A and B are shown apart, each in its own frame.
Chain A
């Protein structure tokens, strides 16, 4: 047996009760995040969970760690700034596909490119749930609904392709119902240096009830993770959208800024403004 463990998954849950719809995949994600943090044995005061706006962006409130529920699409800039200022913290940025890939899409590209050592967890349900079911960037073009009769006809955003092409150092997809797999992937993502992107297929049972069938559609990708972006790209181009597992584990050094440099720069910067 290993050394005694002092922190349990339940220690990372706050007293606030989630208001997600019964059956929502985000409940599973919450469980997986608490288990991942228990696996890592990081004290709550060394963890910060940052989010934007949306159903899934409520997650910081349900966790017993530092949390910041930011503005729409701006979770990544907040997480980036925090990590640069406080590099000793484990920074987990969380949100949904609308928040992350639409209004936050530009930040997503540059967070991948900058490769700061944070983990970005996107609970992808291919719909704007909080605002009652509008198509999101990952919605299929033919999804017919009261708010998009006949579908949008638009080609969906492919988060894994974009993450890989933009320079993310760790790229994975999991399914929320696979609590064990999501936990393991999150542990690896947090441990891996640089920008880690984890797409979690997390059904919205209210506006996309057909997503309850995702649990039958998902399957573990029959390959091992690669550190070769070209190979990862070839694999992702033949993806059916339901492959789960770690696609890419890169070796690029994360961006870092020495704190002493920051302090020196700031002092010089403030000098002309001294009274």
Chain B
């Protein structure tokens, strides 16, 4: 997946449905960053493990905020097939297939940037397709937050230059056998 706009048209009908999607987006992103942190821990990349845990804690906070802001609106309990994701996965979930045991903070933040961009695109699409003014207002709020997250990750990325080619080279290749 990339940070591009959704390819498939989605239609979110109600505020409750939008809130359920917004909450799931953050929850899925949180779980994904935790998975990546665990992978980095298991493969002796402590810098990345810490970074992914930090990203997970941000998503956890966002998920809790959505539930709190929903107030009296009861979120529908959706099965996996009932989520209207435009791609193959929840939009803010980091791409597991791009993980590498020697990846650097630049790679992790690029991953986070694309995830935030996909979440922005999702809510932007809801803003542009919503008929109900309340639904549109919620979607605008979420979209603007995602725009802030995109800017935040872009600022963080300024601290980390893109690694030189060969960053993934390993003198102790796992395929080599005695």
Contact = CB atoms under 8 A, between A and B. Distances in A.
Nearest to A184: B81
Interface stretch (A156-164, A175-183, A221-229, A230-238): A175-183
Given A23-B97, A25-B97, A180-B85, A5 B174 contact: no
B76 interface: yes
A2 B83 CA distance: 12
Contacts of A45: none
Nearest to B95: A177
Contacts of A25: 97
A258 to B, nearest CB: 34
Interface string A184-226: 1001000000000000000101110000100100000000000
Nearest to A25: B97
A251 interface: no
Contacts of A147: 175, 177
Interface residues of A, number: 41
B100 interface: yes
Interface string A1-43: 1101110011000000111111101011000000110110100
B77 A38 contact: no
B97 A2 contact: no
A145 interface: yes
Interface stretch (B32-40, B127-135, B153-161): B32-40
A5 B80 CA distance: 10
A104 interface: no
A10 B99 CA distance: 21
Interface string B27-69: 0000100011011111100000000000000000000000000
Contact of B96 (A28, A133, A181): A28
A146 interface: yes
B74 to A, nearest CB: 10
Interface size band for B: 20 to 34
Contacts of A19: 42
A19 B89 CA distance: 23
Nearest to A6: B77
B175 A180 contact: no
B103 interface: yes
Contacts of B78: 1-2, 5
Contacts of B88: 177-181
Contacts of B82: 2
16 contacts: A1-B17, A17-B38, A20-B39, A22-B100, A23-B96, A23-B98, A27-B96, A38-B80, A41-B79, A133-B175, A146-B177, A147-B177, A181-B88, A184-B81, A187-B81, A207-B175
Closest 7 CB pairs of A and B: A22-B99, A5-B77, A35-B80, A4-B77, A1-B76, A22-B39, A17-B38
Interface of A: 1-2, 4-6, 9-10, 17-23, 25, 27-28, 35-36, 38-39, 41, 132-133, 145-147, 177-181, 183-184, 187, 203, 205-207, 212, 215
Given A145-B175, A206-B175, 12 more contacts: A4-B77, A18-B35, A18-B38, A22-B36, A22-B40, A22-B103, A23-B98, A38-B79, A133-B175, A146-B177, A184-B81, A206-B174
